[in-house]
């Protein structure tokens, strides 16, 4: 009998891209093969693309400075209509849409830079724009839609009709096998029924991408938000991003023309994952904007605030924070810029690089802002409005911290990203030896797998012994940063050996060693960041001299220390004890610890039930249609 876990795993596997038809820097990195040639020199945009991108950034900056009041958005939890209309007028809703369909046709690089710029002003505003373009209607229709669909929907999106992506359900997070929304064919239509949760932009959307089950598999549809039977029942409120229009949407007997099916039946999850290959870059791009802003505030506050006779930034305890914030911001931007340029170049498979960028950007962005709060002390915890009301500069550090927190959950939580990246990182091993550890494989299949594995490892393992990283003259063109690239080369081989040891030790149980896999991925993320920052610094040195090398060198030392700590914890950790204790906690063994408290939670089920049928009037936040 197939278990629920096996079913969920099978669904996820079916949605994966299984072929590697283009080279991948990230894939080779995890295999111990440091292919610097795949990212250096980094691909360059044409002069026309640069000119177009720079022009839009100037227009966007002027609009943000003159027309947007971020404090008003934070205070009212609403993005004013005139701001949305103004963004539409300058083309901000069509940044990623080709010019032939009415968009700006910006590169991934400039789209990411635009989102970083918007985030520095208002993270809620960048969430609106990125949800619309990165995961909303434009991206899946651009990638999988018919020409007729592109001409019907893309011009509307470019003009400012807002789109939303509806996948998550009250009982469905990262496990799509549990999806319960259905789409049943009825003549020339599909009839959709279900409830969707956390629909960013869904409260104000004009167009929706809806994921629904068509038989045993999941399909994707473009749905008009004013179609009869669609009801927005509730607008959700969060600890941050207070201006986003995120809600609960019910679909009851919603008729959707069959021509609105994106791709083929059963392609829904594949469409979602492929969309996210580049769509995920939007989140680390927003983190870059916040981190660069944090660098500015850390510099200004570090000089202005004097304690014990010196500016606080000169005291070692605070200086370490300034160094971490500034060096990390530079590296985060280097990663996003590099992966964005690889995406524009279209010669590389960037599924691992984009996922690493999302993972690294969201985690490091959160740490950067947390350190800035600590550096600002009580003023970091106080709201900008309160600071301003008592006569000081209203710096919204606590707001930025709250706003950034969701990025560790949005579009794949950190824990899920670890597993997704780890699956791709070990794909080469599973391709040759997977049947050896598959309990369903028969003896003949295991024999074939053993032969393939023997041939693969006979070639692969000897290559992990030595490499350019052991030669003191390697990567000399990078000057003072060459030693860090030699470290990446050596460490990528060490990482590959560690992965192999883990597979040999745990075999099929490796997928359940999530702590081990997470550390493997985190080491890979640090190696990608070191590579990106070295490539970026060498490029920037033509304009800024030694300054980029100084930032990059400090970052590389910080990243190497983190990587070495992760290596130490691969084999010496408390994972087994933690799992054992967690099971006992869940079993109620230690409820005596919970005495002496009051639980302020409001009454209700842990997960809301999904009623069938239309909502009652009292349930409705806003009725559409």
Supply the residues annotated as catalytic: 411
For residue 425, the SS3 value is helix
For residue 44, the SS3 value is coil
- Are 95 and 59 in contact by the 8 Å Cβ rule? The answer is no
Four-point Cα dihedral 97, 99, 100, 101, nearest 10: 40
User: How long a stretch of residues is the chain?
Assistant: 625
- The Cα-based distances of 5 to 8, 165, 458, 507 in angstroms read 5, 26, 34, 18
Q: At what angle do helices 414-425 and 351-376 cross, to 10 degrees?
A: 150
Q: What is d(CA 34, CA 30) in angstroms, rounded to the nearest whole number?
A: 9
Q: What is d(CA 314, CA 300) in angstroms, rounded to the nearest whole number?
A: 12
- Which residues pair with residue 223 across a beta bridge? 208
Longest dimension (CA), the chain: 80
Q: What is d(CA 15, CA 19) in angstroms, rounded to the nearest whole number?
A: 12
Q: Spell out a b/e string for 37-71, using b for 16 or more CB atoms within 10 Å of the CB, else e.
A: ebbbebbebeeebeebbeebbeebeebbeeebebb
- Residues with Cβ within 8 Å of 543's Cβ and at least 6 positions away in sequence, in order, are none
Token digits of residue 467? 């490499």
Please report where in the chains the tokens 């304690």 appear, as a residue.
307
Cβ neighbourhood burial of 609 (10 Å; 0-12, 13-18, 19+): exposed
Three-class HEC string of 295-313: HHHHHHHHHHCEECCEEHH
Q: What is d(CA 392, CA 18) in angstroms, rounded to the nearest whole number?
A: 56
Q: What is d(CA 517, CA 423) in angstroms, rounded to the nearest whole number?
A: 9
Q: What is d(CA 324, CA 174) in angstroms, rounded to the nearest whole number?
A: 32
- Residues with Cβ within 8 Å of 458's Cβ and at least 6 positions away in sequence, in order, are none
- Are 341 and 285 in contact by the 8 Å Cβ rule? The answer is no
Q: What is d(CA 406, CA 136) in angstroms, rounded to the nearest whole number?
A: 18
Q: What is d(CA 127, CA 198) in angstroms, rounded to the nearest whole number?
A: 13
- Are 480 and 541 in contact by the 8 Å Cβ rule? The answer is no
Which of the 8 DSSP states describes residue 476?
Answer: G
Token digits of residue 210? 């809806």
Q: What is d(CA 539, CA 197) in angstroms, rounded to the nearest whole number?
A: 44
Q: What is d(CA 524, CA 356) in angstroms, rounded to the nearest whole number?
A: 8
């Amino acid at each position: 009998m197939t278990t629920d876990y096996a079913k969920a795993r099978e669904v996820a596997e079916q949605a994966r891209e299984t072929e590697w038809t283009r080279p991948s820097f990230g894939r080779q990195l995890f295999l111990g093969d440091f292919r610097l040639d795949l990212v250096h020199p980094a691909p360059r945009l044409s002069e026309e693309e640069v000119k177009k991108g720079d022009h839009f950034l100037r227009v966007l900056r002027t609009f943000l400075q003159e027309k947007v009041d971020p404090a008003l958005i934070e205070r009212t939890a609403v993005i004013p209509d005139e701001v949305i209309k103004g963004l539409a007028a300058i083309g901000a809703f069509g940044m990623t849409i080709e010019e032939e369909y009415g968009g700006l046709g910006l590169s991934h690089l400039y789209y990411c830079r635009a989102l970083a710029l918007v985030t520095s002003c208002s993270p809620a505003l960048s969430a609106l724009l990125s949800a619309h373009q990165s995961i909303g209607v434009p991206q899946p229709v651009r990638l999988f839609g018919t020409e007729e669909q592109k001409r019907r929907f893309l011009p509307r999106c470019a003009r400012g009709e807002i789109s939303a992506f509806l996948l998550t359900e009250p009982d469905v997070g990262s496990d799509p096998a549990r999806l319960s929304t259905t789409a049943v064919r009825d003549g020339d239509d599909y009839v959709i029924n279900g409830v969707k949760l956390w629909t960013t932009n869904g409260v104000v959307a004009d167009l929706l991408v809806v994921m629904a089950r068509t038989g045993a598999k999941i399909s994707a549809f473009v749905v008009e938000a004013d179609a009869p039977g669609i009801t927005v029942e509730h607008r959700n409120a969060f600890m941050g991003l207070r201006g986003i229009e995120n809600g609960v949407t019910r679909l009851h007997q919603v008729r959707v023309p069959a021509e609105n099916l994106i791709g083929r039946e059963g392609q829904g999850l594949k469409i979602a994952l492929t969309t996210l290959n580049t769509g995920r870059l939007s989140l680390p791009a927003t983190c870059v904007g916040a981190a660069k802003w944090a660098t500015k505030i850390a510099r200004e506050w570090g000089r202005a605030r004097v304690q014990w006779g010196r500016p606080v930034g000169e005291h070692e305890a605070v200086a370490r924070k300034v160094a971490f914030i500034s060096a990390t911001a530079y590296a985060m931007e280097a990663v996003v810029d590099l992966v964005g340029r690889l995406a524009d170049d279209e010669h590389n498979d960037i599924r691992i690089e984009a996922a690493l960028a999302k993972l690294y950007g969201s985690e490091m962005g959160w740490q950067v802002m947390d350190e800035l709060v600590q550096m600002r002390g009580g003023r970091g915890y106080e709201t900008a409005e309160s600071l301003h009301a008592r006569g000081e500069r209203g710096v919204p550090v606590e707001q930025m911290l709250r706003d950034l927190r969701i990025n560790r959950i949005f579009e794949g939580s950190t824990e899920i990203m670890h597993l997704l990246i780890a699956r791709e990182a070990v794909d080469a091993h599973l391709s040759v030896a997977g049947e050896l550890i598959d309990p369903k494989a028969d003896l003949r299949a295991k024999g074939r797998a053993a032969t393939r594995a023997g041939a693969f490892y006979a070639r692969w393992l000897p290559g992990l012994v030595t490499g350019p990283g052991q030669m003191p003259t390697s990567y000399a063109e990078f000057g003072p940063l060459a030693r860090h690239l030699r470290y990446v080369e050596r460490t990528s081989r060490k990482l590959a050996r560690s992965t192999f040891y883990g597979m040999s030790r745990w075999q099929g149980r490796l997928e359940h060693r999530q702590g081990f896999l997470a550390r493997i991925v985190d080491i890979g993320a640090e190696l990608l960041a070191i590579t990106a920052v070295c490539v970026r610094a060498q490029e920037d040195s033509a304009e800024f001299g030694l300054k980029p090398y100084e930032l990059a060198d400090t970052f590389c030392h910080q990243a190497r220390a983190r990587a070495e700590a992760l290596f130490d914890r691969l084999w010496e950790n408390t994972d087994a004890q933690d799992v054992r204790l967690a099971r006992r906690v869940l079993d109620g063994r230690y409820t005596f610890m919970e005495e002496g408290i009051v639980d302020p939670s409001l009454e209700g089920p842990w997960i809301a039930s999904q009623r069938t049928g239309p909502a009652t009037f009292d349930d409705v936040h806003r009725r559409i249609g």
